[in-house]
Structure 1
Amino acid sequence: MAAKIIKIAIPVVIIAVAVVASMSLTSMRKPPEKKEEQRPAILVNADTIKPQDLVYRIQSQGTVQPKLETSLSSEVNGRIVAVAENFIEGGFFNKGDLLVRVEQADYQTNVKAAEASLANAQSALEEEKARGRVAEEEWRSFTAGKAPELGLRRPQLAGALATVRSAEAELERALRDLARTEIRAPYAGMVKSRDANLGQFISRGTSVGMIYGTDVAEIRLPLTDNDLAFLQVPDFTNDNIEPEVVLTAAVAGRIMQWPAKLVRTEGVLDARSRVIYAVAEVTDPYQRVNQKHAPLRFGRFVQAQILGDATEQVVVIPRHLLLAQQQVLVVDKDNQLQFRAVVLERADEHSAYIRSGFTEGDRLATSAIANPLAGTLVRVAADEAAQLAEKAANPDAAVLTSQVKE
């Protein structure tokens, strides 16, 4: 019996001793040291805010078109007997150059017939004048007083004079028809298309081709009301204003530019797009006279930069940094993020122009920050880079500073 009690008591004693030892060790353990969690400041990029004076440049675009465009038509009937070598698509010509000639034989015959009729009429007129003088002398030799009009053959003289004038008009008509057998260029230009060929019979009103003038090219540039607020455009009140325009286009892989002038507006808002079209002109687009620039061909699409009004002390920022409700994210003088409500003067697709709203010490935050909060402490990359550069330039001073801190 005693042996059985001893077998039961030994495990109980061992368990009790283990529990007491565990409690003793637990009471001797020190509690863990409590430390406050420190979140590192966000590293951001920030630029210094610098107001500047500038001249607004209004952006637009358009297609180069000829100022003069003419459809040449025949004013006579006949067969084409001559076509100029340069009267082909893309051919250039000068003012007064012969482009097409219609057969002239019939019209030369008409001129000769009209000349003969005029000679007969003039002869009859001279004869009637002589008869009038003879009648007047006979009247004075036999009768005193004023001779009657019929006696002096005045009506016959007037009829002969009318016949002469009619013959002169017929001759003028015949000469005009003869001249119209030659279709000449009304201005210097180029051929857009040719509709008539050698040997073809054409009648009055038949189109022989389309030509473009190369002295001046035009570009229609759409402008919004916002654009017009910063641009002086020519109109009936200030037609002497011609803002400068720079046209840009990629030609054969190269960026080319041409100077132009804004000469007028079309005066009516487009009903669909709600824009007004201004017209810029380029002199000698094909460089046929000056040879200073590359040719600016009709039909080319160009970007236009129009010189607008001048402004002072505005801050230019990238458009994507302008937040909703005209706010801008900045880093203040305490290196904390802040939202600034700014006064916006103008904005285009690339930039925003801010008149006011910044405070002293603000720097524009340019980094993309997810869910920024006002008051968030940040580190500016430029500041840290400057500190590292200073340490690299003065390593002894950096070591001394470290020792002092220790």
Structure 2
Amino acid sequence: MIKRLVAAIVLLALVGGGLVGFNLFRDRMIADFFANMPVAPSPVATVEAQPVSWQPAIDAIGTANAAQGVDLTVEAAGIVREIAFRSNTRVEAGDLLVRLDDTIQRAEVEAARTRWELDVQSLERARDLQARGAGTNVGVETAESAARASEAQLARALAVLEQRTVVAPFAGTIGLPRVDLGQFLSPGTAVATLQDLDTMRVDFLLPEQELPNVAIGQPVHVRIEGGASAYDGEIVGIDPRVDPSSRLFAVRASITETRGTLTPGQFVRIAIDLPREDGVIALPQTALISSLYGDFVYVVRPSEGDPERLEARQVFVEPGRRLDGRVEIRSGLEAGAVVVAAGQNRLSNGSPVTLSPTPASDRSPIQASEAAAQ
């Protein structure tokens, strides 16, 4: 009985050991197979790092306004009798826009003019009598005083009559009428907005650190959010005081060529040109990879073991300013290095690569990515 039990145990141990040994042998062979299996090179699009001429700029956001723009209001109370404009039309300086009821004021003007004409005639008679020796200096002075007083009353009546109308103070585009015929208006009521769209200005704020970098006459480029066209202008005003609560200062730029596509009140992005810099190494932003350990790029180099084979190596860099889809490389990369610009999502340090037939510098980032994916 004991011999049978021992034999069964020995047999079971042999079977179990054989299974364990087979599994270990199989895993080792599989690992050796994959370890020795060649890795297929990944196609990538590259760009050569070369010193370029860099145009730095200060970016800001602001609001577009008309160089001349006002909300037209009435000076006196009254009922609207005439609206002499249509919305979104051009008016010239001095054009009548709105007229209030002026019946009483016109009557007062006629009365003042009649009184003034009578006093002028009385003055002429007094001077004629004085010239004949039948009049006195006192009579002439009294007549002159009455004529001047009546002339002042006429001027006052005309001024009151002018307050019953709203005229364009300058040429521009008139907006929507905000009043209706027959409506009673009180002083200060806005009737419409008038904007001169031929010349626009842009107001924006900059941090106090940028105060030494801006000057009158400096070129600026203005772009509408989501728009393709840009407008060129120059700085015409800089606030000499920094707001102590926000540490910002105000800047104003003038734009003359807007082609009627820039509207007052629009949100715009502004770029202020700074002096051009030469010898700056810049790469497409698609080439830069950010990680927890820092920013790096993949540089394509010949393999140390096989010069015929290319591989990608991680190189940590210090990025700087960004402009128009490119990023400045301040340190970590030398001129002439071949940098992967697209297709690096499948790479690791030392991965074999093949170069795309068309240089990445001749393609857009989308085209380079599509070429690397093929």
Provide the rounded CA distance (Å) in 1 between the counterparts of 2:356 and 2:84: 75
1:314 deviates by 0.7
**More divergent stretch after superposition (182-191 vs 198-207):** 198-207
1:243 shift after superposition: 0.6
Q: How does 1:90-239 map to 2 (within 5 A)?
A: 90-133=88-131, 153-224=136-207, 232-234=214-216
- Deviation, 1:349, is 9.3
Query: What is the TM-score with the length of structure 2 in the denominator?
Result: 0.65
Q: Partner residue of 2:262? A: 296
CA contact (8 A) 2:83 2:97 kept: yes
User: Which ranges in structure 2 are unaligned for 5 or more consecutive residues?
Assistant: 4-31, 304-311, 360-374
Paired letter, 1:261 = G
SS at match of 1:214: strand
Q: Please state how far the C-alpha of 1:168 moved relative to its aligned partner.
A: 1.4
Whichever residue aligns with residue 71 of structure 2, its letter is S
- Separation in structure 2 between the aligned mates of residue 283 and residue 124 of structure 1, nearest angstrom: 58
Q: Give the match for residue 354 of structure 1.
A: 329
Q: Residue 322 of structure 1 contacts residue 352 of structure 1 at CA under 8 Å; is this kept in 2?
A: no
> Among 299, 315, 340, which residue is 1:331 paired with?
299
| Structure having the higher Rg | 1
Distance 1:77 1:341, change over 3 A: closer
Q: Which amino acid aligns with 2:127?
A: K
Instruction: Render the CA deviation track for 1:345-364: whole Å, top value 9, x for unaligned.
Output: 63469543235553466443
Percent of matched pairs sharing the same residue? 22
Cα pair 2:59 2:272 within 8 Å, conserved: yes
1:260–1:280 contact (8 Å) kept in structure 2: no
1:260 equivalenced with 2:243 (yes/no) = no
Compare relative contact order (CA 8 Å, sep 6+) and give the higher one, 1 or 2: 2
Question: Does the CA contact (< 8 Å) of 1:285 and 1:296 recur in 2?
Answer: yes
* Residue number in structure 2 paired with 1:54: 54
Q: Distance in 2 between matches of 1:385 and 1:256?
A: 28
CA distance in 2, matches of 1:286, 1:194: 25
Distance of 2:198 and 2:188 partners within structure 1: 27
Query: Which sections of structure 1, spanning at least 5 residues, go unmatched?
Result: 1-7, 9-34, 139-151, 235-240, 288-294, 387-406
- 2:256 alignment partner, one of 276, 283, 293: 283
Give 3-state SS (helix, strand or coil) of 1:67's partner. Answer: strand
1:379 aligns with 2:345: no
Does structure 2 conserve the Cα–Cα contact (< 8 Å) formed by 1:77 and 1:202? yes
Helix, strand or coil at the partner of 2:254: strand
Matches within 5 A, 1:14-25: none
Q: Give the aligned length.
A: 315
Greater strand fraction, Structure 1 or Structure 2:
2
- Given the two structures, how large is their TM-score scaled by the length of structure 1? 0.61
Quote the residue 1:391 is aligned against: none
CA deviation map 1:293-314 (0-9, x unaligned): xx33334434444443211011
Structure 1 residue 119: Cα displacement: 2.1
